[in-house]
Chains A and B, each alone.
Chain A
Amino acid sequence: MSLTNPYLPRQVTVNAVKNESLETKTLRLKLQNWSMSFVPGQFVQLLLPGVGEAPFCIASSPSDQRHIEITIMRRGMLTNAAHYLRPGDALGVRGPLGRPFPIDQFEGKDLLIIATGIGIAALKSLIEHVVGNRSKYGEVTLLYGARFPEDLVYREDMKHWSSSIKIIVTLSKATPEWQGLRGRVTDHLHEINLKDDMNIAICGSPTVMASIVQSLSLLGINKERIFVSLERHMKCGIGKCARCLIAGGKMVCKDGPVFKASEISLEAIGE
């Protein structure tokens, strides 16, 4: 049963650790003698020996199947321990898990990616994929909101992405020195050329996502084209522990984490 046991992790080693912000690090993990084919939006269960497992979105391009990157924000026991990892450390990974973004359906159309806070980690793989296959997509915009300038992550990646996609960054608690936009992401939706057939991918905190979806619907965007990536408490990742149930009875680990806004209620998106 060991081969088909979905609870058994496979080994990865930490290849590199990058500090993104005060609270956030990106780990580059090398898959030991195995490869993973995944689609942006999927996640893995990361096992820290002796600490436990937690779900993290894969934050790297799907074109590299021998490595994955995950960005971890320090929030509790496991994420804290993860901040002590160093190159060479061995970890366990189960995945890829979950339903990804419908990247084929996104092709040929405009794409708006809205991220707030650490939610951008769930969208990075999609951004990398779009940047790597730029000609397949229409106009692509990343609208990224954070609180303080110090919270901004993926600064170097942004420089690279900005040559092929439009990036709008806004801070809700900007310091006086901040040169860029201020306010919440919802304050800047009107600056985007919203089109009827464009697709929108969103990840952020529950309340923020709910308010973005609401604003977009008010602006006349069809909920069929809005995709949200949800976060819930997760244990098994395969539909057996019922921890990730959301209103409507869907399981975030199996039916999500990416959902069409039309498939679920606003209550399931928000708190």
Chain B
Amino acid sequence: MYDLSEEDLQKIPAILQGLGYEVIAPLKFNQAVKLAPINADSKIELDYIRLMNSPRDFLLPNRETLFKYRSTATITSYGLKIRFPTVEGPCPAGISPEYSSQKKKLAFFGIHPCIANSIRYLDRVMLSDPPDPYYSDRRKDMFLAVLECDEGDEYCLCKTLGSYKVAKGYADILMRKSGNRYIAKPMTPLGETVLKQVGKEISGDYPKIVPRMKKEYEITNADESSIDSKDASETVKSCTLCCACTVTCPTCYCNDIEDRFSLVDPSNVERARTRMSCQRRCYSMIAGGTTFLKSKEDRFKWRLKHKFPFSINSFRLVGCVGCGSCIANCPARIDFRDHIARSVD
């Protein structure tokens, strides 16, 4: 275990940069705290509860180019008549996977345990057979310095879900505030190397603390039939379909893949992966207009089913890490806990 002052702690990112990492840490932008790549002047925010974004936005960046290719297709009338020249083969002959491996390894500094656990969920999804090559490449050699919490706010659900404890393999350094100073525990040899340079080794056991919650809950109805059968029409009435719940959720990974090109030079095509939300109607629409998730209520329940029963079935892992983002960021203050949990006082 190591003892550090806040100043010592703030030196860790520079050390990581020296080791070739691109360091992503919580920075303050007006009132919001957001993960962003740091530079020499960045002041890392350590006293925050909730982020506006999450590691997902770096591991699965929105609008990521999967590959580019040249197409000799000519567009006569966009969307209607697309003709393919017969002389030279367009596309795949010229497909060049212009995705070069990321130059720098990623380090996330100062994320909370629930957020570190969200990476574990993304790993389950993205690394299951066949692994997603773009994601695997980005998460390879990732470094995680996790800042544990003493206290949550009224939206946190990590105590109930157990996600205040970082899963094995999802922290190189565990740290927490202790009075005016910080204590830290290396979880990997690399974490140890880093801590040695800034902290003073002290004896004693790194404490196991369960964060205090403002409200406590017990999950009671998170199986598929309970979620389906319970009426949520009142709950979702005020939903504006803004998708803030899925945009800020650290484990939401649904995406779209599309071809993009400029009308000026349509021969350069890019296949890009963009974020999708299950709260949108087009999420489940198939040709002919058949839509499986028709109402707001269907989609609200779908989000919960994907987080709970579906993820448990497919990945043996709950897809919700209890960060509370979807509740805190919902303009309609829709609280999914009302649907699947019971408050215990």
**Size of the chain A interface, CB-CB below 8 angstroms:** 57
Which A220-271 residues sit within 8 Å CB-CB of chain B?
A: 231-233, 235-236, 238-243, 245-251, 271
Residues of B that sit less than 8 Å from A by CB: 66-67, 69, 71-73, 75, 79-87, 89-93, 95, 97, 99, 101, 125-126, 128, 130, 132-133, 137, 224, 253-259, 261, 266, 269, 271, 276, 278, 283-288, 290-292, 305-306, 309-314
Known: A50-B75, A247-B224. A238 touches B130 (CB 8 A): yes
Q: A2 in the interface, Cβ–Cβ < 8 Å?
A: yes
7 interchain pairs (CB within 8 A)?
A90-B93, A233-B285, A240-B125, A243-B284, A245-B306, A246-B292, A249-B305
A240 contact from B81, B126, B291, Cβ within 8 A: B126
Which of B80, B85, B287 has the most A CB atoms < 10 Å from its CB? B287
> B-side binding surface: helix, strand, loop or mixed?
mixed
Known: A232-B286, A249-B305. A49 touches B314 (CB 8 A): no
Q: Binary interface profile of A, 191-206, with partner B (CB < 8 Å = 1, else 0)?
A: 0000000000000011
Which of B81, B82, B278 has the most A CB atoms < 10 Å from its CB? B82
Q: Note all chain A residues with C-beta closer than 8 A to B71.
A: 49-50
Q: Note all chain A residues with C-beta closer than 8 A to B283.
A: 233, 243
Interface 9-mer from A75-83, A165-173, A210-218: A75-83
Residues of A that sit less than 8 Å from B by CB: 1-2, 4-13, 32, 47-53, 73, 75-77, 79-81, 84-92, 205-206, 231-233, 235-236, 238-243, 245-251, 271
Does the CB pair B292–A232 fall under 8 Å? yes
Does the CB pair B133–A51 fall under 8 Å? no
A8 contact from B95, B130, B259, Cβ within 8 A: B95
Nearest Cβ distance between residue B118 and chain A, in whole angstroms?
Answer: 15
B82 contact from A10, A48, A73, A271, Cβ within 8 A: A48
Does the CB pair B101–A52 fall under 8 Å? no
10 tightest Cβ-Cβ pairs between the two chains A and B: A249-B310, A90-B89, A49-B71, A49-B91, A88-B86, A11-B92, A89-B84, A75-B287, A92-B92, A81-B82
Q: Note all chain A residues with C-beta closer than 8 A to B284.
A: 232-233, 243
Known: A8-B67, A50-B82. A235 touches B92 (CB 8 A): no
Q: Note all chain A residues with C-beta closer than 8 A to B286.
A: 231-233
Nearest Cβ distance between residue A90 and chain B, in whole angstroms?
Answer: 3
Does the CB pair A7–B67 fall under 8 Å? yes
Q: Note all chain A residues with C-beta closer than 8 A to B81.
A: 81, 84
Does the CB pair A91–B290 fall under 8 Å? no
Q: How far is the CA of A1 from the CA of B133 in the complex (A)?
A: 7
Nearest Cβ distance between residue B16 and chain A, in whole angstroms?
Answer: 25
Q: Note all chain B residues with C-beta closer than 8 A to A47.
A: 91-92
B259 contact from A5, A51, A233, Cβ within 8 A: A51
Nearest Cβ distance between residue B243 and chain A, in whole angstroms?
Answer: 15
